[in-house]
């Protein structure tokens, strides 16, 4: 049987070129459901040329015209949410609630992009010197690109594309080859909303497509989300090629629980934050640090609630947690659990023995491991699966020191009723995003997303105002007209 083929989207139309193909699986079934075309240099070049041609006029469009397109895009996304959510569920394996949730967070970025006339306003200072005014303007970069991961097929592209497009750029998206379909839908709907054909292009593929994007001289900036090793490589190769790069890497997010924390809130938050999206998200809580001697009450409550987590496919409306993305990834998660067990950790709930883990899909049950130490690979590596590790600390200071020693610094959370303890945590924790009684502190769209240390390579975070700054460049203008103080001098203009 010939399987469906997902192609590229270039110049406002579907394009299938070249002979290289890759499989696309339904992780809940463990079966290949279609194939995806892989781009070569000519395909990437065609996408860049289309973006450059469309951007020439789009960058000169009025802010009002761009804003109207973004408003129309938002409405079309909402009207087509079922199609996008279904594509995410089939190719990623997310259950309906998770897929709808990620899509909603992506649409929020489109809504923020609609504020572009306000965000792109320049600054003006009158009479910085006698008869001299100064102001700044922001201009689009030209053609920019996004390279996005498998775990959020709709949300992460929508973190990038709407801001880049609203700022006046052309955009080339390279989604993960594991989840190609949602990206094409996003680009098609932008053209339907009134965006110029060719402004938003999608090239499918693997490392060859990535290399072509990083090496293409007309691409001025690259946004990336993925593992730390690849993020570091993207950043180094992109900047060496003279590009502006923001590369978001991995994470090891900690949830610090103080003795005064609400036990019910702690258990609910730990289960939701560790096992939502099957743990395949860079803001998942993967380590709970219990401070003090009352840890057993939390572990008992968490273990009890884990039994109620319904594992299933996207077609099961009651399912709360889906499969992992591939069989190979499931094996990796299992090997890290086995390594922790071999080194003395206590497996309180073992996802390897879950009923769904023996089925045809790539399922792995929720897992709870106590007695974890910093030497274990399960702690040292980003597991990216439904595994919650438990560690202990004598006091808040020791907990903060433990978290700050970790090479990742994406997110961290504290659970407490003490304002003083929370304030100390917020000020001293070395993490880009911090939650206080909130387990997954992903910022809303008008703030920016990003971490520190090995979780981010680059200076500017994603979406929010930092996103607009990343996709534009500032120009400072100092002007003087004839009249008072118009005589030229040999000196710099000063504010005297």
Question: Tokens in use for 269?
Answer: 């938050």
Stronger pLDDT, 481 or 18, i.e. the higher one: 481
Catalytic residue among 85, 160, 266, 282: 282
Specify whether 40 is located in the same domain as 77.
yes
pLDDT in tens, 123-164: 999 999 988 999 999 999 999 999 999 999 999 999 999 999
Domain membership of residue 490 (yes or no) is: no
Residue 161: per-residue pLDDT: 98
pLDDT at 357 over 70: yes
Yes or no: say if 19 and 186 are a contact pair by the CB < 8 Å rule. Answer: no
What HEC string does 125-152 produce? EEEEECCEEEEEEEEECCEEEEECCCCC
317 and 352 part of one domain: yes
Copy the structure tokens of residue 323.
Answer: 């499969």
Q: pLDDT grade, residue 18 (50/70/90)? A: confident
- Separation of alpha carbons 77 and 55, rounded Å: 22
Q: Does 1 score more than 50 pLDDT?
A: no
Cα separations (Å) of 368 from 97, 347, 373, 394?
Answer: 23, 6, 14, 21
Q: Is the pLDDT of residue 370 over 60?
A: yes
Share of the chain above pLDDT 70, in %: 97
Q: Which of 234, 48, 195 is nearest to 110 (CA)?
A: 195
For 202, the token pair is 């999608």
Q: Mean pLDDT for the chain?
A: 95
259 and 177 share one domain: no
CB 431 within 8 A of CB 411: yes
DSSP state of 443: P
**Is 282 considered catalytic here?**
yes
CATH number of the domain where residue 159 is located: 3.40.605.10
Contact 298, 260 (CB under 8 A): no
**Residues spanned by the domain of 263:** 253-436
Within-domain flag for 496:
no
Residues 235 and 266 in one domain: no
- Do 106 and 186 share a domain, yes or no? yes
Q: How far is CA 358 from CA 117, 336, 352, 353, 363, in A?
A: 54, 18, 8, 8, 8
Instruction: Write out the two tokens for 408.
Output: 């990742």
* Together in a domain, 228 and 368: no
| Alpha-carbon gap, residue 389 to 302, rounded angstroms | 12
Supply the pLDDT for residue 484. Answer: 60
What pLDDT does residue 311 have?
96
Examine the domain organization and report whether 123 and 205 are in the same domain. yes
- The two tokens of residue 113 are 């992009």
Query: Is 59 a member of any domain?
Result: yes
Do 325 and 238 have their domain in common? no
**Whether residue 485 has pLDDT greater than 60:** no
- Is 140 in the same domain as 216? yes
Tell me the mean pLDDT in the region 344-361: 93
pLDDT in tens, 95-126: 999 999 999 999 999 999 999 999 999 999 99
Distance CA 92, CA 218 (A): 32
Give the residue carrying structure tokens 């433990």. 402
Residue with tokens 């950790």: 345
**298 with 289: CB under 8 angstroms?**
no
| The residue count for the chain | 496
* Range of lowest pLDDT (117-121, 342-346, 481-485): 481-485
Q: How many domains does the chain have?
A: 2
Q: Note the pLDDT of residue 112.
A: 98
Does residue 266 share a domain with residue 336?
yes
- Residue 192 in any domain: the answer is yes
Same domain, 410 and 471: no
pLDDT of 2 above 50: no
Give the whole-number percent of the chain exceeding pLDDT 90: 93
Non-local CB neighbours of 179 within 8 Å, separated by 6+ positions? 24, 87, 88, 91, 92, 150, 153
- CB within 8 A of 14, min separation 6: which ones? 7, 8, 184
Residue 284 belongs to domain with CATH number: 3.40.309.10
Give SS3 for 343. coil
Give a yes or no: residue 443 inside a domain. no
Burial of 328 (0-12, 13-18, 19+ CB in 10 A): exposed
The reply to whether 53 falls in a domain is: yes
Contact 38, 206 (CB under 8 A): yes
- DSSP H or E segment with residue 248: strand 244-248
DSSP 191-239: HHTTPPTTSEEE---SHHHHHHHHH-TTEEEEEEES-HHHHHHHHHHHH
Residues 196 and 264 in one domain: no
Q: Which residues contact 146 (CB under 8 A, 6 or more apart)?
A: 156, 157, 160, 161, 164, 171, 172, 173, 174, 222, 223, 224
Q: Tell whether the model's pLDDT for residue 216 goes beyond 80.
A: yes
Rounded Cα gap, residues 402 and 112, in angstroms? 36
Whether residue 403 is predicted with pLDDT greater than 50 in this model: the reply is yes
């Amino acid at each position: 049987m010939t399987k469906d083929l997902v192609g590229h989207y270039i110049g406002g139309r579907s394009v299938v070129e070249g002979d290289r193909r890759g499989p696309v699986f339904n992780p809940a079934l463990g079966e290949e459901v279609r194939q995806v075309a892989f781009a070569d240099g000519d395909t990437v070049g065609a996408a860049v040329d289309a973006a450059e041609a469309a951007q020439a006029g789009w960058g000169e469009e009025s802010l009002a015209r761009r804003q109207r397109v973004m408003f129309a895009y938002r409405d079309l996304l909402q009207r087509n949410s079922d199609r996008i959510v279904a594509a995410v569920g089939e190719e990623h394996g997310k259950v309906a609630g998770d897929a709808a949730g990620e899509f909603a967070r992506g649409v929020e970025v489109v809504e923020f992009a609609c504020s572009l006339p306000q965000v792109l306003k320049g600054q003006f200072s009158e009479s910085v010197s006698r008869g001299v005014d100064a102001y700044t303007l922001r201009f689009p970069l030209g053609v920019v690109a996004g390279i996005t991961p498998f775990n959020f097929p709709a949300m992460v592209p929508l973190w990038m594309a709407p801001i880049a497009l609203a700022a006046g750029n052309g955009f080339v998206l390279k989604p993960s080859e594991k989840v190609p379909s949602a990206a094409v839908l996003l680009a098609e709907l932008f053209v339907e909303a009134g965006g110029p054909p060719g402004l938003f292009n999608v090239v499918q593929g693997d490392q060859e497509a990535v290399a072509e994007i990083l090496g293409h001289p007309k691409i001025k900036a690259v946004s990336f989300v993925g593992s730390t090793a690849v993020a570091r490589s993207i950043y180094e190769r992109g900047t060496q090629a003279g590009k502006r790069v923001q590369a978001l890497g991995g994470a090891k997010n900690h949830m610090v629980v103080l003795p005064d924390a609400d036990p019910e809130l702690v258990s609910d938050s730990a289960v939701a934050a560790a096992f939502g999206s099957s743990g395949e998200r860079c803001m998942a809580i993967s380590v709970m640090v219990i401070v003090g001697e009352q840890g057993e009450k939390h572990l008992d409550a968490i273990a009890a609630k884990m039994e109620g987590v319904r594992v299933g496919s996207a077609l099961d409306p009651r399912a709360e947690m889906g499969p992992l993305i591939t069989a190979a990834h499931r094996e990796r998660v299992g090997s890290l659990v086995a390594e922790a067990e071999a080194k003395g950790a206590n497996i309180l709930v073992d996802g390897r023995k879950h009923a769904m883990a023996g089925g045809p899909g790539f399922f792995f049950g929720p897992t709870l491991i106590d007695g974890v130490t910093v030497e274990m690979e399960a702690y040292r590596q980003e597991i990216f699966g439904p595994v919650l590790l438990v560690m202990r600390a004598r006091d808040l200071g020791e907990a903060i020191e433990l978290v700050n020693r970790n090479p990742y610094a994406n997110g961290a959370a504290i659970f407490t009723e003490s304002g003083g303890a929370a304030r100390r945590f917020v000020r001293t924790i070395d993490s880009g995003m911090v939650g206080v009684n909130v387990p997954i502190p992903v910022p809303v769209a008008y703030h920016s997303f990003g971490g520190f240390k090995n979780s981010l390579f680059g200076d500017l975070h994603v979406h929010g105002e930092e996103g607009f700054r990343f996709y534009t460049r500032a120009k400072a203008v100092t002007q003087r007209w004839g009249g008072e103080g118009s005589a030229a001098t040999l000196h710099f203009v000063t504010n005297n």
